[in-house]
Structure formats: C-alpha cells, structure tokens
Structure 1
Amino acid sequence: MIRSGNPALKESTFLDLGTGAVVSRNAGAMTLNGTVNRTGILLLLCVLTATYTWNTALTPTGELAPGALLYILGGAIGGFILAMVTIFKKTWAPVTAPLYALAEGLFLGAISAMYEVKFNGIVLQAVLLTFGTLFALLMAYRSGWIKATENFKLGVVAATGGIALIYLATIVLGFFNINIPYIHESGLIGIAFSLFVVVVAALNLVLDFDFIETGVEQNAPKYMEWYAAFGLMVTLVWLYIEFLRLLSKLQSRN
C-alpha cells in the first residue's frame, strides 16, 4: 500500500489510465533522471514568473504595488484549477504541470513581495530553508536514515489531513468574521502550530521521494515523470509558504 499526504500522489497514481496496469520499460517508462529533469524545468518556470511578479509587485521605493493582490489571487486560483485538472487528467501532465508552475510563480512572487515589505530579508531565509530542507531530507532518505514505513505514512497522512481541515475551517469561518484564536497569531501557540505544520510539510517530501521511487520501480508511464514532478512541486510550494508564515511570526515578536 502506497500512501502520500500529497493529494497529487496516491496509490493509484502510477497505474496506466487505460488498462489499470503499469507499462513495460520498452513502451517508454518513467525514470528517476527523467523525473529530476522535469522537476528542474518546473522550478525554472516557477522562478521565471515569480521574478516577474516580484519586480512588478515592488515599487522602486520598496513598497507593495497596488496590483500585487491581483497576481496573488490570479496565481492562486489559476494554480488551483490547473492542479485539479492535473490530478484528474494525469495524461495531461506534460502540458498542465508547466502551466501550473507558471501560475504558482505568479502567486509566489507577489506574496513573497508582500512578506518582504513587512519583514525585510524574510524571503531569502524562507527560500534557503525550503531548499535546505529538501536536500537534507533527500540525503536522509537516500542514506536510509529516514524510511517511509507504513506507520510513518499513516502518521504523516493523518497530520496532513488534520492541518487541511484546520485551514478549511479558517477559510469558512473567515466569511463570518470569526477567527480561530492563537494558532494564526505570533504567540507561542501560534509559533508552535506553524513549526508543527512545517515539520509535517517537510515529512511529506519523504513520502514523495518514496512514491517516485516506487513509480520508477513499477515502470510507470513516461508522462508520469511530469506528474511526479508536479506532485513534488506542490509539496515544495506548501513548505515555502509555511516557512514564510513561521518566520513572520518569529520576526513579529522582535
């Protein structure tokens, strides 16, 4: 049984959509190098649009431009729609995954600018922490220090689901001007909550590594390289946003 807290990566993901079985290596199967290359392409596309919105969202005086909110909303909504399309139409991943990366870049560049205006230097810290966490966990996974056992997967998936419910409740209650106390504030409880979310997001990377490795071993279809790269990107975006939230809470106490 393969489990991942990432909704883009679940047990049936690597099955051929037409027959319900994995394809043979001769038919053009997923490889680890191919997945790494596709991930690099998605990251590059994301950085390109993020750089554009970063430069557009910040005025020459270092203030947030009036149109920054449009990039945040447009990128978030566009990214969500493309993510849903990719999840339900996996064979479209070679097209929708790059489009998702471009949309997320618009969102990330603008929201990063918003945080940077309030907390100088926070974006560089969040970027370094995100990729530092990625490479540290990848090394730990490859060396066998961290193993995606069945209990480990169950725990991470359960924690991820709980966080998703809390965020959903926050959004719904926000429509009625009701705020969940403490966890979104800069107090000790809020910092502890953000730290917990960062840890859970990071542990999802381990599940993603395990899932991708399993897909390669099972000779998943070639287009799944794009889909697996998309799934990994979803986790990285989440991790980066959570680092921004955690760092903003910490800096608010200074």
Structure 2
Amino acid sequence: MRSSNPVFSRRGFTRGDSYAGFDAQGAQGAAGARPQGGNPYAQPAGNPYGQPQQGGNPYAAGPPLTPEQMEEMYAGPSAGPAQTGRMTMDDVVVRTGMTLGTVVVGAVLGWVAIPDRIGLAVGAALVAFVLAMIQSFKRVPSPPLILGYAAFEGIFLGVISNAYNEQWQGAPVQAVLGTMAVFAGMLFAYKTRLIRVTARYARIGMAIAIGFLLAMVVNLLFAAFGSSDGLGLTTGPLGIVFCLLGIGLGAFFLSLDFKQVEDGIRYGAPRNESWLAAFGLTLSLVWIYLELLRLISILRD
C-alpha cells in the first residue's frame, strides 16, 4: 500500500543546491551567489525574479522584509496581479483549496463509483505518482499536472478509505480529523517559532525520511518474497512505532512547506509558484492521512 510522499526533494522555492535561502553547507549563500541579504529571488544578471517592476522591485535590493513590514503589507490594500505579479498568501490559499478540492472530488468518486476495486486504486496511485514525479522535475509549475495528480490521488484515497471503513468503521473520519489536527498543530508551532526551519533541520529530516522509505521498501520486498508480514513494520508494536514516525515525517514536510510559502512571499516569488506551494501541502497532507489510516487500523486490531 502506498503510504509515502513521492517527492522528497520538492523544488518549492529552492534554487540550485540550496533550500529556502540556505546553501548545501547550512549557511547563507556566498556573496556572489546570494546577494542582497540572502534573497534567493534577487540573483544578478538574468534572474527573471530580480527585474524591476512598476517603478522598481522592492525585493531586488536590500535585506528581506521583517515580520513587522510583512504584517503592514498584509494589512494594506491589496494589489492586483497586474500590479505586482508576485505570489501572495491569497494565491497560496486559493490554489491549495483548488488542489485539495480536486482530491476530495476524486475521493468521493473512488468511494462511491469504484468501491472494492483495489486494482483500479493501485493504478490510480501509480498514475498520480508519475504525474507528481514529472512535476517535481519540471522547471516551472504546471497546473494541469498538479490537478491531474490530485484527481488520481483522490480516486486512490477514496477506494482505500472505503476498504478501511468496511474493516474499521469510522477510520477514515478519524484519519481526516487527525490530519487536520496535525496541520493545525504544525502551523501553530511554526508561526510561534517553536519550530525553526534551518538547513541543518532540513538535512536531518530528509535523511530520516530517506531511511524510512528504504525501510518500507525492504519490508515490502520481504512481504512479497518471504514472510507475509515482511519485517513486521506494518503490524504490531513495531508497526505503531513506524506509523508514528511516518506521521512525524509528514509534520516535518509541512514545516518545509510553511517555510517555502513564507520565503516565496517575502522574496517576491512569481505568482504561479503558488501552485508549487499547493502541490507540496497536498503531498504532505496525503502522507499524514495515509499514515494515520495505518495507525488506526493497527490500534483497532
């Protein structure tokens, strides 16, 4: 059963070998590579994000905006896309709503129209995986790819959720509520700076995530060619530990998503990159939902 986020190395607002304004060594980029106070969108000579717009791009020079300045911008009158062309929180919210709405529509279709057809669910999951991987390697966000991923992922979730509900009544509702709780908790922790996303934090989390995925792949291989329970990572006490680890990794991915959104707004990312934010948030929420479904099934057994 597919229970992991297919894109560990999300582009988001990353440029080159850096993540969210940090280079691969965990420090701010060198002066030649990260000018103007570390703004990843203010590259010299050819950076399309650093060109003057409507009398000068305020993000093309000087240090990044302070939280107080960002609050003032949010409180002021909104500028239309033609005036700025930059990503806003409204853009992220709208695109995320569209992407998650497509997931929900697909899930309803999978639940009602194609119940008990696990083969079709697996096929939909594979199509969603391929679309997600294509988008992850593209240089620019593609709304059709992202919405197509959401639709097929939704069908997969609908069929799987129906199967779980027949075996463990109410499990999908519990998983949805749990996913919402994890999202709210991580958003609160990020906004209050209980969690600070740094390059080191990202590297450690990604290393754990890669180890988690490799362990699940090995478990699947043992289940296919050896013991039916594999290494026991999906059942019993060890299964509970791995489910909790998976949920924790989903929360980690959410923190990366929040950082990407914050940096994209602060540094004046192009408006269409809000689709990448919606894509990343959807991947993380789907991951958490699937891990919660597995956890609930183990606990109720």
Q: 2:234 aligns with which of 181, 184, 209?
A: 184
Give the distance between the partners of 2:160 and 2:182, measured in 1 at CA.
21
Structure 1 gap ranges (5+): 59-64
Q: 1:219 aligns with which of 236, 248, 268?
A: 268
Matches within 5 A, 1:1-254: 6-9=8-11, 11-12=14-15, 22-23=49-50, 26=53, 28-58=85-115, 65=116, 68-178=117-227, 179-185=229-235, 187-252=236-301
Structural RMSD (CA) = 2.3
Judging by fraction of residues, say which structure has more helix.
1
CA displacement at 1:177 relative to structure 2: 3.5
Taking a change above 3 Å as real, the CA distance of residues 250 and 191 of structure 1, as seen in their structure-2 partners, is same
Give the distance between the partners of 2:50 and 2:162, measured in 1 at CA.
44
Please say if residues 219 and 233 of structure 2, whose CA atoms lie closer than 8 Å, have aligned partners that are also in contact.
Answer: no
CA displacement at 1:23 relative to structure 2: 4.8
Q: 1:61 — aligned with what?
A: none
CA deviation map 1:178-225 (0-9, x unaligned): 55322211x222212211221121122111101221122222222211
Moved runs in structure 1, 4+ residues, more than 6 A? 13-16
Q: What SS is found at the alignment partner of 2:269?
A: coil
Q: Which moved more, 1:86-95 or 1:121-130?
A: 86-95
Larger Cα Rg: Structure 1 or Structure 2?
A: 2
Counterpart residue identity of residue 38, structure 1: R
Q: What SS is found at the alignment partner of 1:22?
A: helix
Task: Return the structure number with greater relative CO, CA threshold 8 A, min gap 6.
Answer: 1
Aligned pair count reads 237
CA displacement at 1:20 relative to structure 2: 5.6
TM-score scaled by structure 1?
Answer: 0.84
Counterpart residue identity of residue 275, structure 2: W
Please say if residues 131 and 148 of structure 2, whose CA atoms lie closer than 8 Å, have aligned partners that are also in contact.
Answer: yes
Counterpart residue identity of residue 51, structure 1: V
Structure 2 gap ranges (5+): 1-6, 21-39, 54-83
